[in-house]
Each structure stands twice: as C-alpha cells, then as structure tokens.
Amino acid sequence: MTEPRDIHAYLAQFDDIPGTRVYTAKRARAGYHMNQFAMSLMKAENRDRFKADERAYLDEWKLTDEQKQAILDRDYNRCLDLGGNIYFLAKVFSTDGQSFLQAVGTMTGMSPEDYQAMMIAGGRSPDGVRSIKDRT
C-alpha cells in the first residue's frame, strides 16, 4: 500500500517550472471572475461596451484591482498568474483584433513570426533551466 500523497506539496511543485503556469484548482478559483468577464466578450454588445469604457466594464465584475490592471495593461502573463485561463483570455485579445499567435508572441517576448517559427520547429528546447529554485 502506498502512503497518501500531500496534494498541496505535489501541486506546489508546479510553481517551480520556469515560464509555465499550471492551471490548478487554486488558480481556477482565483481567476473565476476574470474568466467569466472574458467569456462575456463572446457577445458583440459586451465587446462594444468594453471597448467604449474598459474600466467601467471591468468595474462591473468582482475582479481584484490587480486583475483589472493586468487586463487593462494586456499583461497576459500577469493575468495567468492571477488565475486567468488562456482560452478564456483569448476573448480579450480577439476583442482587440489580435490573433492567438500575436497575443502569445507578446507573452514570450518574441515577434509573432519568431514564435511561429519556433513552434513549427518543435517548440522550445527541453534543455536548460528546469527549475526556478535551481537558478540560484
């Protein structure tokens, strides 16, 4: 018989992966309202309201000030840190007229063309730093 695993210790390991945010239940709970806001942009009338006054529209949602600012800044990496799900956040950059490729490129610091070429070539190399704590 195996010993029970400490689920919190297990999930904490995911926070040590450089450049990766694993969408855990904890993140889902933190980002619930942000993701609901993003999904609201599926309706044209909501996209129009958001584009007319982004701050006012965001104020209608139970978002933290930090989440609102991350959305206003279009800092998608910060949105992910605060519980956003990339597939829901796609509604935000789609509202801005950006493709998934363009938006994700901004998250990597690469041009969309360089990001696309990297992904077509097989993605990032698994070699290199595999742990944030091992960087020091």
Residue 68: count other Cβ atoms within 10 Å of its Cβ: 19
Q: Is residue 118 part of a domain?
A: no
Q: Is residue 63 part of a domain?
A: yes
> What pLDDT is attached to residue 44?
98
Task: Say what the pTM is.
Answer: 0.84
- Encode burial over 13-39: b for 16+ CB neighbours within 10 A, e otherwise: eeeeeeeebeeeeebeebbeebbebbe
Specify the number of domains making up the chain.
Answer: 1
Is the pLDDT at 54 greater than 70, yes or no? yes
Residue ranges making up the domain that contains 91: 23-96
Whole-number average pLDDT of the chain: 90
Q: Is residue 79 part of a domain?
A: yes
Here the tokens at position 78 are 């910060």
Alpha helices (H) in the chain, listed in sequence order: 7-12, 25-40, 44-52, 54-59, 65-73, 76-81, 86-95, 100-108, 112-120
Q: Is residue 120 part of a domain?
A: no
Q: Is residue 38 part of a domain?
A: yes
Query: What CATH number does the domain containing 82 carry?
Result: 1.10.700.10
Q: What is the pLDDT of residues 65-106, one digit of tens each?
A: 999 999 999 999 999 999 999 999 999 999 999 998 999 888
Q: Is residue 5 part of a domain?
A: no
Q: Is residue 116 part of a domain?
A: no
Is the pLDDT at 33 greater than 70, yes or no? yes
Q: Is residue 130 part of a domain?
A: no
Torsion of CA 80, 84, 86, 88, to 10 degrees: -170
